[in-house]
């Protein structure tokens, strides 16, 4: 009664330490999840968000990985997983009133896209 796990071919691309908050990336990433590659590319291209340019480059990289390294057909690819995790925060200080200081948090994120072929 043992079930054999079938290895599903997948291609991934990762962008580490992107200088954008993961919260801003997730807005566009949620729109792209589960879509065909061409449709996801159009969504990322025309979304008026700061993370759009990063996601277009990353998606193109994942497509290139799928075609060249894993010999997948672009017409059958879809975005199986896309997520943005929080990276390390750069802490800076800005002078404030009465000799005090205010901390500025410059957030980073790690973005990953996983592509699979549809049956």
Predicted pLDDT at 1: 62
- Domains of the chain in sequence order: 10-117 (3.90.470.10)
Please give the helix or strand (H or E) that residue 61 lies within, else none.
helix 52-68
Predicted pLDDT at 5: 67
> 40-61 in b/e burial notation, b at 16+ Cβ within 10 A?
bbebbeebeeebbebbbebbeb
Neighbours of 91 (CB within 10 A): 9
Q: What is the pLDDT of residues 26-53, one digit of tens each?
A: 999 999 999 999 999 999 999 999 999 9
Q: Are 56 and 18 in contact (CB under 8 A)?
A: no
Q: What is the pTM of this model?
A: 0.88
Predicted pLDDT at 107: 97
Predicted pLDDT at 8: 76
Please give the helix or strand (H or E) that residue 2 lies within, else none.
none
- N- to C-terminal Cα separation, the chain: 26
Predicted pLDDT at 61: 97
Predicted pLDDT at 78: 95
Maximum Cα interatomic distance, the chain, rounded to a whole number of Å: 73
Predicted pLDDT at 6: 66
Alpha-carbon span 80 to 33, nearest angstrom: 7
Q: With a cut of 70, which residues of the chain have pLDDT below it? A: 1, 3-6
Alpha-carbon span 17 to 80, nearest angstrom: 22
């Amino acid at each position: 009664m043992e079930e054999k796990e079938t290895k599903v071919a997948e291609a991934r691309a990762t962008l580490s330490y992107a200088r954008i908050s993961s919260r801003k990336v997730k807005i566009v990433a949620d729109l792209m999840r589960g879509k065909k590659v061409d449709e996801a590319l159009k969504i990322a291209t025309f979304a008026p968000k700061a993370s759009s340019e990063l996601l277009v480059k990353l998606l193109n990289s994942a497509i290139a990985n799928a075609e060249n390294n894993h010999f997948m057909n672009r017409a059958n690819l879809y975005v199986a997983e896309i997520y943005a995790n929080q990276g390390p925060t750069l802490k800076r200080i800005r002078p404030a009133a009465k000799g005090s200081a205010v901390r500025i948090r410059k957030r980073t994120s790690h973005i990953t896209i996983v592509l699979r072929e549809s049956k």
